[in-house]
Amino acid sequence: MRKERELAPLQWGDPMNATLRVAIYARKSTATEGKSHSCEEQIERCLQDAKSFGFAEANIVVFEEPEGQKGDWYWDDGRGRHDGPCRPELSKLMRLVESGDIDVVMVYKADRFYRDNGVADALLKRFRELGVRLIAQGRDVEVHSARGLYQAAVDGAAARQWRDQISEDIRRDHRFKAERGMFSRNPSCLGFRSKGRGTQAVDPIPDELEIVRRVFGLFVHGENGEGPLGITAIANRFMDEGVRVAVSAKNHRVKHPDKVHTSQIRTILTNCMYAGRWRHLGREFETERLLVPGFDGELETVVPLALYEAAQRKLERSTVPGRKGLGLAHLLTSIAVCGECGRPLRTQQRKRGDGTVRLQFICSHLRGDRPCSRKGTRAIQVELVDSWVFEHLSPLLWAQLKQLESSTGRDGLLEKKTALERKLAEQRERESTELVRLSTVLDSVQLAGVATELREERIALEANLADVSRQIATPNQPDASELLDLRDLPLAKAKELIRRSLLWLAMTHRGVVAMTTWGTYCAAPFVEAPKGYKTQESKRRIAPVCPVASLGCASWFVNPDEFVRGQREYQPARMRNLADHEVVHTLWREAA
């Protein structure tokens, strides 16, 4: 570590100041800070102060965060040392600070820079090490002196408490309102306009409500004897007819008023306001404020409830989780890949001789510059792969994970981590409340002592936690216990667990092969019924996972290089840190 420089506080009008390189930093997060100063105002004030100090205008750079950046977010130091979201402009600023191109950082108030003890510590530590000064509210914070540090700690703690308090208040207020059928945010949408902030009332717009009713009607029943339309068809028809559905919000101009986007149609269809309900944090609350007069003058919902519910059911059927275009929503869609080309399989309906329809996995990458010959893969019934996963694969995954957990003492580490996290949360809480409480009874020297002590305790805890987190290897693997009842879980959850357990699940021409995220093969050969054998069921079945097959299954890949290439193309993020032989083991033997 560099030796920290002792710096005398900057004085106003010191002629030497004209040589200093200055950065102004401004931030406004709109969510909770409606009444704080805008970025322009902050910058203007800083520029005034800069004049008083005698900084040269040519030496000043301004960093203005886009809206919504939070004061307890860190910066990206290029080495990923800080968790969580990063503030982009702060990251740029800190890069200049690190490279020694900045002498002074100016902010309107310290809470623009940090709203949390952790962030304050990290920032000021670098400032001290690099000899950079911080000016807030027109004066040098003197981060190089004990007094300045203490002030920064108290500011950070107070700001944090204020922020926690305010967001808690806002949350409670919103929930309170929603439960009473009141609006917890601006209710303007197609068909309704807010009568103004605080009025808790809307004006219905009859013309727009007609469009809303028509969207629901088209989606569920169709029009003029035609069948129901899909979302895209509705959007296209509206565009042809020149119907407009865009609503311009406050401070927001509609970019293409003549365009109708499918997302706009979807927004209309999922808006429960048309069914007389207000949605808050995923829950829906009935409210009379959204009822409109019907033909007989009585109040009713914009869209009849039965029609609304019918639309919701149709939407559920058409929502495909994960990638689009792979066929119907399914446990293994976007997980199952082709054993030849390594790209995802799609599901296809196949009509059988007896008239029944079965779904099967098949490789559809037959065109393009790298067509798949399908020689290294076989079509297989989706249902069979599903039950194989439930009956044979998941118990095996469970057993392997169980063994991994006990062999690495992962259970113990996880417990330790939870305990540390709890302690750290308590310590942070204590730090905020104690400092604020003591600031009224202790003098600044005593308080500085307490602040330092509390901070050191917290830093020790943070270091300890980081250490334990590192020891818990591959934290993304599921816990073994989660895999026990895979079959009973909701589809999305089961899918997520499989995705975290498997790097890929390939249909080769010899059988099914799964590669776990902890690097083991699980292979099961296909069992083919003899020629001429008549059956109602599929002729191709999957055997249980076989240890011998698992050892030799690398040879089931007709073109391992193509497979790896397809995988890298299909899931680049997961493949980035893997060598070829980690994707398919056979390539390791060739390389060795």
Nearer to Zn ion, 537 or 569 (CB): 569
Question: Is the separation of the CB atoms in 136 and 66 below 8 Å?
Answer: no
- Which residues 310-349 are close enough to bind Zn ion by CB under 5 A? 338, 340-341
Q: How far is the CB of 345 from Zn ion (least distance, A)?
A: 8
Q: How far is the CB of 333 from Zn ion (least distance, A)?
A: 15
State how far the Cα of 590 lies from the Cα of 216, in Å rounded to an integer: 60
- Which segment (15-23, 252-260, 281-289, 522-530) binds Zn ion by CB under 5 A? 252-260
State how far the Cα of 344 lies from the Cα of 346, in Å rounded to an integer: 7
Q: How many residues does the chain have?
A: 592
Q: How far is the CB of 238 from Zn ion (least distance, A)?
A: 13
Which residues fall within 8 angstroms of residue 512, CB to CB, at 6 or more apart? 380, 385, 388, 505, 506, 523, 524, 526, 542
Nearer to Zn ion, 172 or 375 (CB): 375
Q: How far is the CB of 192 from Zn ion (least distance, A)?
A: 22
Q: How far is the CB of 378 from Zn ion (least distance, A)?
A: 11
Q: How far is the CB of 567 from Zn ion (least distance, A)?
A: 11
State how far the Cα of 571 lies from the Cα of 335, in Å rounded to an integer: 10
Q: How far is the CB of 242 from Zn ion (least distance, A)?
A: 16
* 123 makes contact with Zn ion (CB under 5 A): no
Q: How far is the CB of 370 from Zn ion (least distance, A)?
A: 9
- Which segment (12-20, 176-184, 218-226, 249-257) binds Zn ion by CB under 5 A? 249-257
* 259 makes contact with Zn ion (CB under 5 A): yes
H/E stretch holding 105 reads strand 104-107
Q: How far is the CB of 563 from Zn ion (least distance, A)?
A: 9
H/E stretch holding 193 reads strand 192-194
Q: How far is the CB of 508 from Zn ion (least distance, A)?
A: 10
Nearer to Zn ion, 46 or 265 (CB): 265
* 562 makes contact with Zn ion (CB under 5 A): no
Nearer to Zn ion, 265 or 363 (CB): 363
Q: How far is the CB of 591 from Zn ion (least distance, A)?
A: 24
Nearer to Zn ion, 17 or 264 (CB): 264
Tokens of 166: 């305010």
Which residues fall within 8 angstroms of residue 276, CB to CB, at 6 or more apart? 286, 287, 288, 290, 291, 301, 302, 305
State how far the Cα of 111 lies from the Cα of 134, in Å rounded to an integer: 12
- Which segment (1-9, 55-63, 253-261, 400-408) binds Zn ion by CB under 5 A? 253-261
- Which residues 524-553 are close enough to bind Zn ion by CB under 5 A? none
- Which segment (35-43, 239-247, 259-267, 504-512) binds Zn ion by CB under 5 A? 259-267
CA-wise closest residue to 117 among 469, 456, 466, 464? 456
Nearer to Zn ion, 413 or 558 (CB): 558
Nearer to Zn ion, 252 or 589 (CB): 252
Nearer to Zn ion, 219 or 570 (CB): 570
Nearer to Zn ion, 377 or 477 (CB): 377
Q: How far is the CB of 325 from Zn ion (least distance, A)?
A: 15
Pick from 197, 250, 253, 256 the residue near Zn ion by CB under 5 A. Answer: 256
State how far the Cα of 187 lies from the Cα of 202, in Å rounded to an integer: 7
Which residues fall within 8 angstroms of residue 558, CB to CB, at 6 or more apart? 339, 340, 375, 376, 508, 509
Specify the amino acid at residue 402. K
Write b or e for each residue in 365-386: b if 16 or more Cβ atoms lie within 10 A of its Cβ, otherwise e: beeeeeebebebbbebbbebbe
State how far the Cα of 235 lies from the Cα of 224, in Å rounded to an integer: 17
Question: Is the separation of the CB atoms in 331 and 491 below 8 Å?
Answer: yes
Q: How far is the CB of 180 from Zn ion (least distance, A)?
A: 37
How many residues of this chain interact with Zn ion, rule: CB under 5 A? 7
- Which residues 348-407 are close enough to bind Zn ion by CB under 5 A? 363, 372
State how far the Cα of 574 lies from the Cα of 567, in Å rounded to an integer: 9
Nearer to Zn ion, 209 or 379 (CB): 379
Nearer to Zn ion, 256 or 313 (CB): 256
Residue holding tokens 């293994």?
332
Nearer to Zn ion, 340 or 405 (CB): 340
502 has which bridge partners?
516
- Which residues 171-230 are close enough to bind Zn ion by CB under 5 A? none
| CA-based torsion, 229, 233, 238, 241: positive or negative | negative
Instruction: State how far Cα 250 lies from the chain centre.
Output: 27
- Which segment (74-82, 88-96, 223-231, 256-264) binds Zn ion by CB under 5 A? 256-264
Instruction: State how far Cα 152 lies from the chain centre.
Output: 32
Q: How far is the CB of 264 from Zn ion (least distance, A)?
A: 9
Nearer to Zn ion, 136 or 380 (CB): 380
State how far the Cα of 276 lies from the Cα of 286, in Å rounded to an integer: 6
CA-wise closest residue to 333 among 265, 270, 279, 386? 386
Nearer to Zn ion, 301 or 360 (CB): 360
- Which segment (98-106, 224-232, 250-258, 279-287) binds Zn ion by CB under 5 A? 250-258
Q: How many CB atoms lie within 10 A of CB 200?
A: 16
By the criterion CB under 5 A, which residues form the site for Zn ion?
A: 256, 259, 338, 340-341, 363, 372
